[in-house]
Amino acid sequence: MRIHKTNSVANLTRREALYGLSGGLGSLAFSSMLQAEGVHSIGSHHPAKAKRCIFLMMEGGPSHIDTFDPKPELAKRHLQKFNRSGDKESAMSSGERYFVKSPFDFIKAGKCGADVSAEWHHLKNHGDDLCFYRGCQVESVNHPTACYHVNTGNRFGGDPAVGAWVTYGLGTLNDNLPGFVVLPRTSYPQGGASNWSNGYLPADHQGTPLRPEGSPILDLHAPAGMNRKDQRNNLDLLAKLNGKHFKARPDQGELDARMSSYELAYRMQSAAPEALAIDKEPEHLRKMYGLDDDKCKHFAAQCLTARRMVERGVRFVQIYSGGMENQRSWDGHNDIHGNHTQFSGETDKPIAALLEDLSQRGLLDETLVIWGGEFGRLPLAQKSKKPGRDHNPHALTYWLAGGGAKGGVSYGETDEIGHKAAVNKAHINDLHATILHLMGMNHEKLTYRHNGRDFRLTDVAGEVIKDVIA
């Protein structure tokens, strides 16, 4: 059943009205709505350095030793047999393994002389903007659990994502757009939509994924026979029914988030098309991002969309490079050279353009940009003729730019072969704590009462990495 006119629904029950509204406002309104326990934001705990965040998620696990953490010692040990004794145990279960050097040359980027792979032809021009976090560690070698860990602080799924915590804490700067937007590849990452879940937070804080092809949001426009006035009348009726419901049942507030989502979907019908209209950008800017290049135009469109989103007040945008259709991701088990050449080629120009564009618009200082994946890679060869690398949770590299992060510095080091974090090593919880701190929130105070205890993004761990903060 679909609601059309106010006079036709005057006698409907609240539940009937809810179901009738669904056809007109689309899938946004139905994303885990019944998990909600109330709708509000907390506010900042201290002055923020960043008002917004763009998280560049390189799904599949980019190799730190082939991107931003060169290891000359590997060249010395190249093709030497790997000894499984001691603490340098391989995650690979069988077969003879050997050390293999990086197939990439490294260059010095910026005045700071940051080490970056020569494949990053455009990003190298932003070396002084980047803060490298080379001592990061996670706790899982499997893609879904590692993605959950990076995105939610929990390996097992079901917890709120970082973006959900940010919007729960700070709210949105634009009431007509979601506070947390996700731009996936043509397929979702391993673990699916749980990577941007609201978890036990109010459902308003769930990430809103935008489809990469066709209409970004399904059913965004009103169905045939229903206009804006009809939709407004329906929403007003439901608000009235809600009021009666709560008056009779003051202990039941779980549908507030559902109604809030309906309202957002209604407002998005006007705001979203304009925000997503990257074709309105000047031609020189579109070329700067790489929209005229078949190799990188998809990721270019995502990056340009992200800029338009944060410019319009979206708090948190996550962009995915890689998706798991046919292993199209940074998961370089075979031919690390071919894999990383492809994916750096797809992302290099758009990322450099994003940083340049944000800077030119005066947005970079208040926009935190983060690059990284779910784990690093081992310094060993896998699958021989064109060697790849297996998963490594003990060492991975992130970099931060803008939003109060120190540019042109590095924090942490891995050992001589890049197997484990060794100096100033820090957990992914520490990165989460630092992100929240830069955005004006204390990770120990940003909590939510659920199942009888207070939960937080960093659980019982996490320390702010002060050395990366400007």
* Lowest mean pLDDT across 23-37, 159-173, 257-271: 23-37
DSSP label of 56: E
Q: For residues 250 and 397, which has the higher predicted lDDT (pLDDT)?
A: 397
Structure-block tokens of residue 5: 């006119």
Residues of the chain with CATH 3.40.720: 49-83+106-210+278-468
pLDDT of residue 11: 42
Tell me the longest C-alpha to C-alpha distance in the chain.
81
CB atoms within 10 A of CB 90: 18
pLDDT at 404 over 50: yes
Q: For residues 293 and 268, which has the higher predicted lDDT (pLDDT)?
A: 293
pLDDT of residue 266: 57
Mean pLDDT (whole number) for 85-107: 72
pLDDT band with cut points at 50, 70 and 90 for residue 463? very high
CB atoms within 10 A of CB 145: 20
What would the pLDDT profile of 7-35 be if each residue is shown by its tens digit? 333 344 444 444 344 444 443 433 333 33
CA nearest to 22, candidates 269, 265, 267, 270: 265
pLDDT at 230 over 50: yes
pLDDT at 2 over 50: no
pLDDT band with cut points at 50, 70 and 90 for residue 101? very high
Highest mean pLDDT among 237-246, 247-256, 397-406: 397-406
pLDDT band with cut points at 50, 70 and 90 for residue 290? very high
pLDDT of residue 30: 35
Coil, helix or strand for 50? coil
CB atoms within 10 A of CB 457: 27
Residues 6+ away with beta carbon under 8 Å from 460 = none
* Lowest mean pLDDT across 86-90, 168-172, 280-284, 340-344: 86-90
pLDDT band with cut points at 50, 70 and 90 for residue 222? low
Look over the chain and give the mean of its residue pLDDT values, rounded to a whole number: 84
Question: Class of 49-83+106-210+278-468 per CATH?
Answer: alpha beta
pLDDT at 232 over 50: yes
Q: For residues 446 and 322, which has the higher predicted lDDT (pLDDT)?
A: 446
pLDDT of residue 274: 83
pLDDT > 90: what percent of the chain?
65
Highest mean pLDDT among 94-103, 155-164, 216-225, 244-253: 155-164
The DSSP bridge pattern shows strands 130-137 and 396-401 to be: antiparallel
Mean pLDDT (whole number) for 449-463: 94
pLDDT at 223 over 80: no
d(C-alpha 162, C-alpha 180), whole Å = 9
pLDDT of residue 328: 82
Mean pLDDT (whole number) for 48-65: 97
d(C-alpha 459, C-alpha 444), whole Å = 8
